[in-house]
Chains A and B, each alone.
Chain A
Amino acid sequence: MSRMDALKKTFFEESAEQLESLETSLTDLREGGSSDDTINAVFRAVHSVKGGAGIFGFERLVGFAHVFESVLDQVRHGSLLATPDVIDVLFVASDVLADLVESTRSEVELPADYDDDCRRALQQLMGKSTGDAASGENVESAAPADFDGFDFTPVSVDISDTPDDNLAEQTYTIAFRPKPAMLTGAKDPLALLRELRGFGTLDITADAGALPHLSEFAPDQAYLAWHGTLRTSSTRQDIERIFESIRGDCEFEITELGLPPPLAELDTASASNVATLDRPALVDAAPVAVNTVTAQDAGADETADPAKETRAGGMSKPSTTSIRVDLDRIDRVVNMVGELVIAQAMLSQIIQTLPEETNNQLWKTLDEVTHHTRELKNSVMAMRAQPVKSVFQRMTRLVREVSAKTGKKVHLEMVGENTEVDKTIIEQLSDPLVHIIRNSIDHGIESPAERLTRGKSETGTVRLSADQRGGRIVIEVRDDGAGINSERVLKKAREKGLIDPNATLSEDEINNLIFLPGFSTAEALSDISGRGVGMDVVRRNIQDLGGRITLKSTAGQGMTIQFALPLTLAVMDGMIIRVGNETFVMPISAIVECLRPSRSDVCNLVGTRGTLQLRGDIVPLVYLGDLLQVQATVKVASDGVVIIIEASDGTRLGLVIDELCGHQQVVIKSIEENYHSVLGIAAATILGNGRVAFILDIEKLPELAREEANRSDADRHTGAQSVAA
């Protein structure tokens, strides 16, 4: 990627942030917070997009942003009032702007008239502004005016002419001696020196002669005095003015000198018992005092510590609180931390084998290393983490739109927006949330009239919350609507043949049927929820992120959908299992339960390798060894362990394995990157003993099981044929 391309990428990232802040500010504006700050924020967001687009020459984007900005400018100056109608247009414009940014980014050209309607609406607003006389000109300025024929003469400057040669400059000698009590009046000599420096070139020396011995030193007394010269073009009155406020607290003297003294002369001023500070204005008052005390104590006439100087220089630089780092770089660090975790696990295995007298010391050190590694891991994870606010904010608008469309009154409540989650997870949270909230409002929340008859308040509430529980992030959408109509769900599921007509299901089980593929309860397909994306896709999305989705519904009182997500995608909770000589890792999130079946629980049905009777349910058994073509020790399910797993489509499988070896956090290593994808294997990891173990892909195991069943069927078939022959 060329440097320019990389910068363009940055621009699009910045624009995404600006568009987000635009959306948030517009929402604030609509909700009545039309403070100057909000309007300015809206204006600035659009202006920044325009500015950035300008520097890259994205003309179309600049053109539209310019019109948008012109309208906002009028809102900002009060000539156009931010009425709901106006805000509606601004919202549409913000969408169009976002589309134009996206089209520029993806280089997929939008139709030439795509933004025409919106432009027209914006221009109409400009015509409406109260400054009607100016409206003609405003509409004209809607198209970026060129600078053709613009009368501007650049002002040239001779930069080689240094301020010293400026004839208007004068040199003053300054003597400034604060009275000892000046500091107690909260008056800071340092601030004054800084102000003096603003006038021109200040060369002063601090006189530390009055400093007492450390034992008599009172920190609230001013002991230092300063004298030196100031070269400036300001008048004497200007300088005296800054001493005005502390007139009674100090002695000062300003005298005019004709010509600036040569530098050498200044140097001799740093005679004995004086600490020279080239830039006194930048050094904290306290450190200066302490520094000079030590100098005097040592009986040395040292100049100020050079280190102090550097520090002062460092302090003067305005610091930025954040930097942009490429995600790849952070990921590289995440990987390295992963390696470190593995190396540490190996180390602990080695230490275990050592004799006790030698390993004690090692354990202690290893504990320390473990501690630091954990800190390091958390810090790196924190770098990838972002508050969920960005996603939550987007929902405000969704709620507004959907409630307007459905004619329902809905209030969105947000809790814990500052909870931080891995960036990748955040990016993939939006779709599931949009879907669930749409469902909540469309199906859950009742119409205002209905709510009133049920004794609820007219306005329904959707509560969106995020918090961290244990090692997981829990995101919850709760509404106070009607909840799930279990009867209707059950009826639908039977009609669609999704469940056995005779099955008896608990209320919870019925409610969870909505996660089945092909399920949609809306009697008439509305354009709000029924977009072909079902709750099964939502569940799939969450499970892809290593999360679990749960649902609770109380008829008439509302429903709660909860996702429990991992903090990061780089490390996973795994169950280490053994089949034959091979070790595998099973994601804990997919495990429903583990058990040792008794012989009587296992039935052998024709054409299967057995089924397990589990509290009235029948779960097909699959031998993991067969699936992965590994020689297993256990041939019969009742000799081994059965892990019940559940894939996102609700398929349950009982995997027969030899042994459970324990629970461990594992670092996920992609095998696709280094090899290619393998059916049934999601990734790999390195265990404490240094061996590579594969992480099983739960979603693909049922598929693999079907393939295996077909294969063994075919085998039997050919076997039978050969017997017949």
Chain B
Amino acid sequence: MPLAAGLKVLIVDDQYSVRQVTRMALEEIGIRHIHESENGKAGFEVASVQPLDLIISDFNMPEMDGLEFLKAVRGSPAVRRVPFILLTGRGDRELVVKAAQAGVNNYLIKPFTSAVLRQKIEQVIGKIS
């Protein structure tokens, strides 16, 4: 059973406010090690140097979008096993389908509560204590 305090999570979104709200929700769950990146490219750089237990990424971002980022992660031997949750808006069903084909672990619809976030994370990595 993973310990919340021991989890290392990367949030990737080009909007500061979205990153902060997500960070807040993660902190409510008890997660302390949180990295942030502004786009897929920067996120990938973080993922290649930092050990991560989870990536939560938006889809539409400059430089490298969420789908490309997911593909890059899955295609890189060093990080390809890191669980990936796609942050999406209502109505982006097709996107989730594409992401599922690219190997996404789960998706999270905005707006979300920390309870929903927890549930989505637990569906992927098991119950958090």
Q: Chain A: residues with CB nearer than 8 A to chain B?
A: 3-4, 7-8, 10-11, 14, 40, 43-44, 47-48, 50-52, 54-57, 62, 66, 141, 143-147, 150, 152, 154-160, 163, 166, 197-201, 232-234, 282, 316-318, 320, 324
Interface bits B16-51 vs A (CB < 8 Å: 1, else 0): 111011101000000000000110001001101100
Q: How far is the CB of B47 from chain A (nearest CB, A)?
A: 10
Who on chain A is nearest to B94 by CB? A141
Q: How far is the CB of A555 from chain B (nearest CB, A)?
A: 51
Interface bits B103-129 vs A (CB < 8 Å: 1, else 0): 111110111100000001001111000
Which of A8, A143, A150, A201 has the most chain B CB atoms inside 10 A of its CB?
A150
A201 to B83, CA, bound (A): 19
Q: Which residues of A contact B111 (CB under 8 A)?
A: 54-57
Q: Which residues of B contact A152 (CB under 8 A)?
A: 96, 100, 106-107
Q: Which residues of A contact B78 (CB under 8 A)?
A: 163, 197-201
Known: A44-B60, A143-B91, A317-B49. A160 touches B2 (CB 8 A): yes
Known: A14-B15, A56-B21. A158 touches B126 (CB 8 A): yes
Q: Which residues of A contact B49 (CB under 8 A)?
A: 282, 316-317
Given contacts A14-B15, A51-B58, A155-B106, 9 further A-B contacts (CB under 8 A): A7-B24, A147-B96, A156-B105, A156-B123, A156-B126, A157-B83, A166-B81, A198-B76, A200-B78
Known: A55-B17, A318-B42. A144 touches B89 (CB 8 A): yes
B17 touches A7 (CB 8 A): yes
Q: How far is the CB of B110 from chain A (nearest CB, A)?
A: 3
Q: How far is the CB of A417 from chain B (nearest CB, A)?
A: 22
Known: A7-B21, A157-B105. A54 touches B77 (CB 8 A): no
A157 touches B22 (CB 8 A): no
**Pick from A54, A155, A320: contact of B105, CB under 8 Å:** A155
Known: A4-B24, A155-B105, A160-B2. A51 touches B126 (CB 8 A): no
Which of B20, B61, B100 has the most chain A CB atoms inside 10 A of its CB?
B20
A143 to B107, CA, bound (A): 20
**Pick from A141, A154, A317: contact of B120, CB under 8 Å:** A154
Who on chain B is nearest to A141 by CB? B91
Interface residues on B, range: 35 or more
Q: Which residues of A contact B13 (CB under 8 A)?
A: 51
A456 to B24, CA, bound (A): 62
Q: How far is the CB of A476 from chain B (nearest CB, A)?
A: 35
Q: Which residues of A contact B2 (CB under 8 A)?
A: 159-160
**Pick from B24, B58, B83, B107: contact of A3, CB under 8 Å:** B24
**Pick from B14, B37, B89, B110: contact of A318, CB under 8 Å:** B37
Q: Which residues of A contact B126 (CB under 8 A)?
A: 156, 158
Who on chain B is nearest to A199 by CB? B77
Known: A157-B83, A157-B105, A200-B77. A52 touches B90 (CB 8 A): no
A55 touches B124 (CB 8 A): no
Known: A48-B14, A145-B90. A317 touches B46 (CB 8 A): yes
Who on chain B is nearest to A8 by CB? B17
A200 to B81, CA, bound (A): 12
A198 touches B48 (CB 8 A): yes
Q: How far is the CB of B33 from chain A (nearest CB, A)?
A: 13
Who on chain A is nearest to B90 by CB? A144
Q: Which residues of B contact A145 (CB under 8 A)?
A: 90-91, 93
Known: A56-B21, A197-B78, A318-B37. A154 touches B90 (CB 8 A): no
Q: How far is the CB of B60 from chain A (nearest CB, A)?
A: 4
A51 to B61, CA, bound (A): 11
Q: How far is the CB of A147 from chain B (nearest CB, A)?
A: 6
What are some 8 contacts across the A-B interface (CB < 8 A)?
A44-B14, A44-B60, A51-B89, A52-B18, A66-B89, A154-B120, A157-B125, A159-B53
A243 to B59, CA, bound (A): 35
Q: How far is the CB of A16 from chain B (nearest CB, A)?
A: 12
Query: Inter-chain contact count A-B, CB under 8 Å?
Result: 136
Which of A3, A51, A200 has the most chain B CB atoms inside 10 A of its CB?
A51
Q: Which residues of B contact A233 (CB under 8 A)?
A: 77
A66 touches B124 (CB 8 A): no
Who on chain A is nearest to B61 by CB? A44
A10 touches B16 (CB 8 A): yes
A610 to B25, CA, bound (A): 72
Q: How far is the CB of B19 from chain A (nearest CB, A)?
A: 10
A50 to B15, CA, bound (A): 11
Q: How far is the CB of A337 from chain B (nearest CB, A)?
A: 27
Q: Which residues of A contact B58 (CB under 8 A)?
A: 51
Q: Which residues of A contact B53 (CB under 8 A)?
A: 159
Known: A198-B48, A318-B46. A14 touches B17 (CB 8 A): yes
Q: Which residues of A contact B125 (CB under 8 A)?
A: 156-159
B83 touches A159 (CB 8 A): yes
B20 touches A7 (CB 8 A): yes
Nearest 5 CB-CB pairs, A to B?
A144-B91, A54-B110, A154-B123, A57-B111, A11-B17
A52 to B107, CA, bound (A): 17
Q: How far is the CB of A319 from chain B (nearest CB, A)?
A: 9
Q: How far is the CB of A233 from chain B (nearest CB, A)?
A: 6
Q: How far is the CB of B4 from chain A (nearest CB, A)?
A: 12
B90 touches A48 (CB 8 A): no
Q: How far is the CB of A640 from chain B (nearest CB, A)?
A: 58
Q: Which residues of B contact A8 (CB under 8 A)?
A: 17
Q: How far is the CB of A317 from chain B (nearest CB, A)?
A: 7
A324 to B36, CA, bound (A): 14
A282 to B48, CA, bound (A): 11
Who on chain A is nearest to B107 by CB? A152
A28 to B77, CA, bound (A): 42
Known: A55-B111, A154-B106, A159-B53. A50 touches B89 (CB 8 A): yes
Who on chain B is nearest to A158 by CB? B126
Known: A47-B60, A56-B111. A157 touches B81 (CB 8 A): yes
Q: How far is the CB of B92 from chain A (nearest CB, A)?
A: 8
B124 touches A155 (CB 8 A): yes
